[in-house]
Amino acid sequence: MAGLKIPKQQELKRYNKLFAVLTKYGFEDVMAHHQIKKIIPKSYLKKHPNTQKNLSFTKYERIRMMLEELGPTYVKLGQIFSNREDMLPPDLIKELVKLQDHVLTLKNFNIKEVVEQELKINSTDYFQSIDSAPLAAASLAQVHKAILLNGNEVVLKVQRPDIKETIEADILVMKQVAKSLEKHSSQAKAFQPKQIIASFEKSIREELQFLQEVENMEHFAKDFKGNASIYVPKVYRELSTDKLICMEFIDGIKVSEIDTLTSLNIDCSTVAKVGVDLYLEQILEHGFFHADPHPGNIFVLPKTQQICFIDFGMMGSIMPNDRDTLSDLLLYFMKNDVKKIIQLLEKIAVKANIDDYKKLEYDLYELIVGVSNTSIKNIRMGIVLNQFKSVLYGNHIILPHYMYMLIRGLIIIEGVGLKLDPKFNITDNLEPYSTKITKKRFSLKRLLKKNFTRLQDLNSLADSLPDDITIILNKIKEGKLVIVHKHKGLKEFQSTLNKASNRLVFAVIIAALSIGSSILVIAKMPPLVYGIPLLGAIGFILSAVLGFYIVISIFKNKEY
């Protein structure tokens, strides 16, 4: 998809659509500064007949309605950023959450024909039947149930027609609009539109790679091999392509269906504990986690009471070093060590423009003390993480994309646990991990490994040091050594120096006038006025005026 070339006509078509819908919902001023408006028909810049009626809705309702009308790419954008409380206002978040349930099924969609074209097969050679009515619809794909010749029930996840081309054209438009907004609107710039689109582009490209989703399922199954608490659906790689996935049909109960679970004598509190434990294991042990663990993606198998996750399109990966950093972050949070937390945040941050370290320290301390003063049974991870994101946003710290996926996942999974068991508390699940992390951190094996790594680094340094010194010495001999340094506060120093110099010149002039005038007065140099030398008097008056002027300028802090 990254190398996909989009015809200019299609790109302009998406611009036209964007302009028309923006105008319809009263947002035509958003594109006011954009150069592309020169090639958009003027009719799109006029008021739409429904604009007045739509203005009766709130601004955020109109944004949600606009995204729905613009199609799958924009719906997906809204869905992904429905968890970004660190970037978007709470009222807008509430509207974006509604997009999860507002996806229309495709009309006149022939699933058999699509399967045959995509797999280059005759469907009757592999399937007993394929349901034409979809089981579910998402912004990027649609799901249909089918039965294989051997009687196994499967589901077929099929990409919407021409979705890649549409998304590619939409992303091009989004990038241009984001660039324009960031350039011309200080209010929009605060929301970092370019950063939002870059993050969105990464997520949607990953989700459109269906063969990557197949890899994700196999990776996930390998991580939990031998764990009796979880079941991972089988994926049929031979019947899967980059636009189609064939996987085992899961005849389970969604964790949100509390009454059904209770009627089958399934203990919901146990489901909550086991489900959250499995999710924490994904993050803290495997470093490969489900990024969208909402209730519709988690099932309970009634016979075995195993937990089953589905939909592996959005997965988060954490590198081993980052996993250690996350573990340290958890430990320092529990120790209330704010300075160490700030060091770790700067270490993993993509961007950290911290204006006031004292403010950041105070914000984090206030958050930690608030948690410490709350009884464990009343702590809500979702609230704490949202407050944490607000602290990051308020102090201009941007974390890697996976961190926001992780935070979102934890908030969602805690919500699932609370739905299953109102008394559920995620800190109970975290406690064994914090103990485990502490033991691992100070284990002899880890200390030996860490010191061995440092020894290797020192050995590498010792090997390369003579060569590095030789290179530096040769550059010095050849006069090619360049030292780059940056002055801080030089302009302010120059300004202060200029002001001091100007005032010194004034002082010398005043002193010269005063001395010269005194000599003229003593010598009784004519012409005289009332016995006083006129030139001497003028000299004293000028000295007095300049003296008052320089004193006033000093008090007013003017640049003289």
Does 560 have pLDDT greater than 50?
no
Q: What is the pLDDT of residues 292-315, one digit of tens each?
A: 888 888 999 999 999 999 989 889
Q: Are 249 and 282 in contact (CB under 8 A)?
A: no
Average pLDDT over residues 40-66: 72
Q: How far apart are CA 350 and CA 329, in angstroms?
A: 16
pLDDT of residue 39: 45
Predicted local confidence at residue 488, as pLDDT: 58
pLDDT score for 431: 76
Q: What angle do CA 67, 69, 71 make, to 5 degrees?
A: 75
Asked whether the beta carbons of 395 and 360 are under 8 A apart, the reply is yes
Distance CA 407, CA 87 (A): 14
CA distances (Å), origin 52, targets 25, 47, 128, 359, 459: 8, 8, 53, 45, 73
| Predicted pLDDT of residue 234 | 95
pLDDT: which is higher, 540 or 31? 540
- Residue linked to tokens 């060091």: 343
- pLDDT recorded at residue 320: 82
Residue 30 confidence (pLDDT): 60
C-alpha to C-alpha distance for 28 and 43, rounded to whole angstroms: 12
Cis before 41 (ω within 30): no
Whole-number average pLDDT of the chain: 80
Nearest to residue 257, comparing CAs of 419, 426, 425, 422?
A: 419
Of the pLDDT bands very low, low, confident and very high (cuts 50, 70, 90), residue 135 is confident
Q: Say which residues have a Cβ less than 8 Å from residue 368's Cβ, sequence separation at least 6.
A: 333, 336, 338
Least confident of 51-65, 136-150, 261-275: 51-65
| Nearest CA among 403, 319, 390, 329 for reference residue 360 | 390
pLDDT at 395 over 50: yes
- What is Dmax (Cα atoms) for the chain? 129
Could you give the percent of the chain with pLDDT greater than 70? Answer: 80
pLDDT average, residue stretch 209-217? 93
Contact 344, 329 (CB under 8 A): yes
Cβ neighbours of 445 (radius 10 Å): 8
> Is 50 exceeded by the pLDDT of residue 527?
yes
Output the DSSP codes for 111-124.
HHHHHHHHHTS-GG
pLDDT of residue 149: 95
| pLDDT of 172 above 90 | no
Q: How far apart are CA 90 and CA 387, in angstroms?
A: 12
Say which residue, 134 or 352, is predicted with more confidence.
134
Nearest to 292 by CA among 221, 399, 226, 204: 204
Task: Tell me the C-alpha distance between 175 and 183, whole Å.
Answer: 12
Tell me which residue of 543, 544, 545, 525 sits closest to 535, measured CA to CA. Answer: 525
Has residue 230 got a pLDDT over 70? yes
Helix (H), strand (E) at residue 60: helix 59-70
What are the counts of helices (DSSP H) followed by strands (DSSP E) for the chain? 21, 14
Residue 393 pLDDT grade (very low, low, confident, very high; cuts 50, 70, 90) = confident
Return the structure tokens found at 330: 């958890």
The per-residue pLDDT for range 33-45, each reduced to its tens digit, is 545 455 455 555 5
177: pLDDT strictly greater than 50: yes
Chain centroid to CA 257:
32
